[in-house]
């Protein structure tokens, strides 16, 4: 009678540095240059054993394989991002940090010495149920970032001194997530008071020499979004924890009114009321949200499942200018209502 063991064997990964140098060299001959380079960068010993001859000058010889190498290097580190326009790896938000580094880059392009360029043009505040007092900014974009990103986009490639001009707009991206408990009276369920999980995704882009600031908020409620007073109370409580506005001349209450109106159009059209914007469809601005500042912005609301909403804001930023002149004024031949979002292109969806 044979005896079968109930123990399961676990695979033990090999200790690569303990292998003979000759075996490591043999392994490398079966790998493409990008994988050989990633293999060599594992430890100092493996790099010494394999050398760098096979992948020396890979960027100039085979750009696609070089980009694959960057992916291999960055894939296990969530703080790194591949930038195909720069053919490089960026750390998260490096462009937002280091005032001295920013000042040095401004000097290179002749924009240094101005206090105005260091003033924030966009601030994203952390969600809070406390409606009084100051809130910390989770993201601050300065005029300097806009100046430097536009300088990078306008650089003349091929000039040795131009490759590191400015900063890449990819470094100005941000993804954040937080959950808040909503102060809604009489809405506690079996799992306690309602909550809202708020995702924030920022991805600026340079399009036709214009800096487009694109921010998406996703609000996922712990209760389903159904027509009725409790739903509106919960959603309004979530919106009032935030500071969503399409430009600095707009108020968060104005955007709140449009979000409620648009969500009513999308989910319960017959309840949309007398709003002219509701009768013209989602491409048009709600009559609850009108201001005459002339800022070039776009605004979109989408229903997400049975308990969520996406709010997307696009705005064209211009560097410098006095207080209140941070956005480009509307040029209907360049960007119009509904066109700005299409010019900016699609962004990757937010994972919930």
Residue 27 lies inside a defined structural domain of this protein: yes
Q: What is the number of helices (H) and of strands (E) in the chain?
A: 11, 10
Highest-scoring range by mean pLDDT, 84-93, 214-223, 278-287, 314-323: 214-223
Same domain, 171 and 315: yes
5, burial (CB in 10 Å: exposed 0-12, middle 13-18, buried 19+)? exposed
Average pLDDT, integer, range 144-160: 77
Q: How does pLDDT run across 278-304, given as a tens digit for each residue?
A: 555 545 556 566 667 778 888 888 888
Question: Do strands 137-142 and 174-181 pair parallel, antiparallel, or not at all (unpaired)?
Answer: unpaired
Task: Note the pLDDT of residue 4.
Answer: 43
Confidence tier at 227 by pLDDT (50, 70, 90): low
From the CB of residue 59, how many other CB atoms can be counted at a distance below 10 Å? Answer: 15
Q: 40: domain range?
A: 19-76
Domain edge (last residue) among 41, 76, 111: 76
Residue 351 lies inside a defined structural domain of this protein: no
Same domain, 37 and 168: no
Whether 39 has a pLDDT exceeding 80, the answer reads yes
The number of folded domains in the chain is 2
Q: How does pLDDT run across 306-350, given as a tens digit for each residue?
A: 788 999 999 998 876 444 444 444 444 444 455 666 655 544 444
Residue 298 lies inside a defined structural domain of this protein: yes
Residue 46 lies inside a defined structural domain of this protein: yes
Same domain, 191 and 162: yes
Residue 1 lies inside a defined structural domain of this protein: no
Rounded to a whole number, what is the distance in angstroms from the first to the last CA of the chain?
53
Confidence tier at 212 by pLDDT (50, 70, 90): very high
Residue 59 lies inside a defined structural domain of this protein: yes
Average pLDDT, rounded, for the chain: 74
Residue 9 lies inside a defined structural domain of this protein: no
Residue 69 lies inside a defined structural domain of this protein: yes
Task: Note the pLDDT of residue 34.
Answer: 87
Highest-scoring range by mean pLDDT, 65-79, 87-101, 253-267: 65-79
Same domain, 115 and 70: no
Task: Note the pLDDT of residue 325.
Answer: 47
User: Residue for token digits 């990819």?
Assistant: 170
Same domain, 256 and 128: yes
DSSP for 311-351 reads EEEEEEE-SS-STT--BPBP-TTT--TTTHHHHH---PPPP
Same domain, 175 and 228: yes
Task: Note the pLDDT of residue 251.
Answer: 84
Structure tokens at 7: 């123990």
Name which residue leads in pLDDT, 292 or 197. Answer: 197
Same domain, 330 and 223: yes
Whole-model pTM: value is 0.71
Structure tokens at 215: 């921010």
Could you give the CA distance from residue 174 to residue 136 in angstroms, rounded to a whole number?
16
User: Residue for token digits 């036709």?
Assistant: 208
Same domain, 267 and 305: yes
Same domain, 249 and 214: yes
DSSP 277: H
Confidence tier at 23 by pLDDT (50, 70, 90): confident
Using CA of residue 168, residue 144, residue 137, residue 313, what is the dihedral sign? Answer: negative
Task: Note the pLDDT of residue 327.
Answer: 46
- CA 299-261-252 angle, 5° bins: 55
Same domain, 52 and 114: no
Same domain, 137 and 222: yes
Same domain, 152 and 239: yes
Of 194, 183, 197, 202, the closest CA to residue 137 belongs to: 202
| Distances in whole angstroms, Cα of residue 312 to Cα of each of 48, 202, 309 | 50, 10, 10
């Amino acid at each position: 009678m044979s005896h079968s063991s109930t123990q399961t064997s676990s695979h033990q990964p090999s200790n690569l540095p303990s292998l003979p140098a000759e075996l490591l060299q043999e392994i490398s001959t079966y790998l493409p240059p990008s994988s050989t380079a990633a293999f060599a960068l594992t430890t100092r010993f493996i790099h010494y054993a394999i050398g760098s001859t096979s992948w020396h000058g890979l960027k100039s010889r085979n750009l696609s394989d070089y980009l694959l190498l960057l992916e291999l290097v960055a894939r296990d580190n969530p703080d790194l991002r591949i930038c195909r326009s720069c053919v490089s790896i960026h750390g998260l938000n490096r462009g937002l940090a280091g005032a001295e580094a920013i000042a040095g880059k401004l000097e290179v392009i002749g924009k240094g010495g101005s206090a105005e360029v260091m003033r924030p043009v966009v601030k994203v505040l952390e969600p809070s149920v406390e409606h009084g007092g100051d809130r910390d900014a989770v993201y601050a974009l300065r005029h300097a970032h806009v100046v430097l990103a536009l300088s990078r986009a306008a650089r003349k490639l091929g000039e040795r001194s131009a490759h590191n001009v400015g900063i890449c707009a990819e470094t100005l991206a941000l993804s954040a997530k937080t959950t808040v408990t909503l102060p809604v009276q009489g809405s506690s369920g079996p799992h306690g008071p309602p909550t809202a999980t708020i995702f924030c995704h920022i991805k600026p882009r340079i399009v036709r020499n214009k800096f487009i600031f694109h921010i998406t908020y996703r609000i996922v409620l712990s209760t389903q979004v159904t027509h009725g007073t409790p739903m509106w109370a919960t959603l309004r409580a979530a919106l009032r924890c935030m500071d969503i506005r399409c430009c600095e001349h707009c108020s968060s209450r104005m955007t709140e009114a449009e979000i409620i109106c648009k969500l009513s159009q999308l989910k319960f059209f017959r309840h949309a009321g007398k709003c002219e914007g509701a009768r013209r469809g989602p491409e048009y601005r709600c009559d609850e949200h009108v201001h005459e500042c002339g800022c070039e912005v776009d605004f979109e609301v989408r229903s997400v499942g049975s308990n969520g909403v996406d709010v997307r804001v696009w705005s064209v930023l211009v560097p410098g200018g006095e207080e209140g002149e941070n956005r480009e004024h509307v040029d209907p031949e360049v960007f119009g209502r509904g066109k700005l979002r299409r010019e900016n292109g699609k962004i990757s969806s937010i994972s919930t």
